[in-house]
Chains A and B, each alone.
Chain A
Amino acid sequence: MGSNDLLDSDELRGRIWRGKGGARSARAALPTGFIALDRYLPGGGWPLGPLIEVFVERYGVGELSLLMPALAALTTGDGSRASRKWVAWIAPPFVPYAPALQQRGIAVDALLLVHPSGKECLWTVEQVIRSGSSCGVLAWLAAADHVALRRLQLAAEAHGCWTILFRPTAARHERSPAALRLGLEQAGSVTRVRIDKCRGAWPALVDIGATE
């Protein structure tokens, strides 16, 4: 076996910094559950640690379905209930519907719902990340400036927390330290992920099949 084969083995790919191509992909990643998306993303999945921004104008366009496979893997991970960590939903716009979540393989008892008032939202996100008791955060942020996002980014990277921020489309053109920024479009029956920024890869359009 040549040394190149060894470097290309699945086990090592993404763990070794190789100068070009694999830059910054050494961090752990969480498979998205969509083959096309996994192939595109540098680590082979959602980056764990740096912020991920999802731009949605209105809800119901498949923004949650995009996260469901990863969320299921995260909540049903090994460990008893006592040692399992929370996945916090901060300021969700509607009621996350428990029977539907359970149907998609999510351990509902690992979810923590927090409804802060608008001003407390950033504080809450930071507390949840910094507490070290959560492995994932989904937050619906109305407004956040670069400094606030930078704080969250540092906290999330320190704790390796899967942090998804849902933000209004208007925020797309603001500066942001997030490692991955994406939007969703419907193209016929397939959902199209429009990637505006991705650390270690070029912006692109990725088609993913329907989840069901």
Chain B
Amino acid sequence: MSRSLPSRDLALREAATVPDPDRGPARANPQSWLAVYLPNLAFDVFGSQGADEPAVVVEPLHGQVYVVAVNRSARRCGIVRGAKLNSAFALAASLRVFERSIRREQASLESLSAWVQRLTSVASLSPPDTVLLEVAGSVRLFGSLAAIKHKLAEELARRRWAVRLCAAPTATAALWLARGAVEDVESLATLSGRLGSLPLRVTRWPPEVQALLRDLGVRTIADCLRLPRDGFARRVGREFLHDLDRALARRFDPREAFVPHERWSAKRELYHETANVAVLMAAVEDMLDALTVELRRRQAEVRTLSIAFEHVRREPTFESFDWAEPTHERDRLLSLLRDRLERIVLPAPAIALRVTTGFLLPLQPKADDLFDPMPVETLSHVLLERLRGRLGAEAVHGIAPVAEHRPEFAWSRSDAGAAGASCAGGPLSPWARQRPLWLLPAPLPLGSVEAHRYYRGSVELGSSAERIESGWWDGRDACRDYYAAQSSSGERLWIYRDRRSLDWYLHGLFG
């Protein structure tokens, strides 16, 4: 590697503030990164519609609408990236305008990353417009880098996406080279020289950083590398120095590998239409056998699953199932399905079944105890999913206190079994001792037929009033005086008087 830092001695002396670049890198496994740069992705995601008339993709910024991508005929009219939409309309009145869709761009990158899994196992998204592939192993498999690039170019031509491919020994360098439209760099020895000739904009550092460097007379990467390291770190920012180090393989450059989302699906045709549970269950069991084999092979788990019952001349009926935690065990999968399927009522006999799982999740091995076959946590998850499966998700929940003065809002439903569910109720008010254990779902007018289901006879006030006055800001204003009371039949009641209407209400029972 060429040494392009004249101030190395200074850097070594101040090693405490700026680590020495030569200590970090590991070049034991030479890597080779291929950047798949999609310069016109913002436009390409809208397909090739209207290719012959001028069209632009726009994005609002600071109250103005700017052009972020143009097609060829728009460029011919003189519209450039970064122009305001109004000036673009001045140049081409028949302009077609698309609003930028980050979601579609992300989906496109993900679909490309899923496709390139056939070329390499390590693909990494670098939004908004690049996919990075680690191809050192693949070059050996496919014979040459050119073969890989050829396959990629074919696929991208099929998708009609503009692309620029560039390979380099580091991921950051590949990214910058692709943006700068420079040839591949094969060895580390030539890397800094080739990177050096790139203009500063390929780094995509924030505009103010680029402006600062421009003011210092820095135009290219090489100019950057010529600056003293410690001064660069202090005046420009350490993270940008790290970027340079990563590009030159002086620093680790870990990239998160893209893991494609996969589902598993199987379809089973029945011999004849049937609504017979035993027949349906047998078919489902067969498919689950195949599923568990597949899950074991892939070391994966599933958390959700849906079954579509297909009918003749009718829309399919869907049933979906949720487990409290991802699982791959046949018995656990089956017990929930069986509970539900035994009681299912189909609108028509089914002719085919399709089982589709949710995303396959990587297996999380659990620590098994030799003597205690199932930890309590698993047992409670099994219980929760079984109850939810049969009674519905709404019927099973936990409770949590809420710091709030109005009694009806001082508690909430919580998700039973969710990690981190805790009783963060805040400090209890000194009055909390007088709260009843039972709260009625809604206050009932004292003396009404409904309220009389809970007590008999007359009501005698027992305690002094507690005034609760709160909530004028959210429209559910409460302005009440609460009393503990006892009915002549022995129930201890919690009643209040609304201070506006002066009516009495039953709100709780002391239990």
Contacts and interface: CB of A to CB of B under 8 A. Distances in A.
Contacts of A107: 423
Given A61-B491, A94-B440, A99 B509 contact: no
A101 B436 CA distance: 9
A64 B509 CA distance: 10
Interface residues of B, number: 55
A124 B391 contact: yes
Contacts of A114: 387, 391, 395-396
Contact of B439 (A82, A95, A117, A120): A95
A133 B179 CA distance: 58
Contacts of A60: 436, 438, 454-455, 491-493, 509-511
Could you say which of B386, B394, B492, B509 has the most chain A C-beta atoms within 10 Å of its C-beta?
Answer: B509
For the residues of B in contact with A, the DSSP-based class is mixed
B154 interface: no
Nearest to B411: A98
Interface in B367-394: 374-377, 379-380, 382-384, 386-387, 390-391, 394
B410 A98 contact: yes
Contacts of A123: 390
A71 to B, nearest CB: 10
B175 to A, nearest CB: 43
A115 B411 contact: no
A65 B386 contact: no
Interface string A142-168: 000000000000000000000000000
A93 B397 CA distance: 15
A169 interface: no
Interface stretch (B1-9, B54-62, B220-228, B414-422): B414-422
B106 to A, nearest CB: 36
A62 B416 CA distance: 27
A108 to B, nearest CB: 5
Given A60-B493, A65-B510, A133-B376, A109 B423 contact: yes
A150 to B, nearest CB: 22
Interface in A127-142: 127-128, 131-134
Contacts of B94: none
Interface string A81-119: 111111000000111111111111001110111111100
B433 interface: yes
Could you say which of B379, B382, B490, B508 has the most chain A C-beta atoms within 10 Å of its C-beta?
Answer: B490
A63 interface: yes
Nearest to A184: B490
A52 B374 CA distance: 28
Interface in B424-468: 425, 428, 432-433, 435-441, 453-456
A10 interface: no
Interface residues of A, number: 49
For the residues of A in contact with B, the DSSP-based class is mixed
A173 interface: no
B399 interface: yes
A99 B380 CA distance: 25
B511 A65 contact: yes
A101 B437 contact: yes
A94 B399 contact: no
B455 A58 contact: yes
A134 B438 contact: no
Interface in B480-511: 489-493, 508-511
Nearest to B441: A95
B509 A103 contact: no
B401 interface: yes
B24 interface: no
B398 interface: yes
B155 to A, nearest CB: 47
B400 interface: yes
A124 B414 CA distance: 20
Nearest to B396: A114
Interface in B40-76: none
Could you say which of B386, B394, B416 has the most chain A C-beta atoms within 10 Å of its C-beta?
Answer: B416
Nearest to A101: B437
Contacts of B510: 60, 62, 65
A97 B416 contact: no
A113 B397 contact: yes
Nearest to A83: B376
Contacts of A78: none
A65 B394 CA distance: 28
B380 A131 contact: yes
A103 B509 CA distance: 16
Nearest to A130: B383
A103 B426 CA distance: 12
Contacts of B379: 131-133
A81 B432 CA distance: 25
A100 B429 CA distance: 11
Nearest to B432: A103
Given A97-B508, A99-B435, A132-B376, 14 more contacts: A59-B438, A60-B438, A60-B454, A60-B455, A81-B422, A95-B399, A96-B438, A98-B399, A101-B437, A103-B433, A108-B423, A112-B416, A128-B383, A131-B382
Q: Which 7 A-B pairs have the closest CB atoms?
A: A60-B509, A64-B511, A60-B491, A133-B379, A133-B380, A131-B383, A98-B411
26 contacts: A59-B509, A60-B455, A60-B509, A61-B491, A63-B511, A65-B437, A82-B376, A82-B377, A86-B383, A93-B438, A95-B438, A97-B407, A97-B411, A97-B508, A98-B423, A100-B436, A102-B423, A111-B398, A113-B396, A113-B398, A116-B391, A120-B391, A124-B387, A124-B391, A133-B376, A134-B383
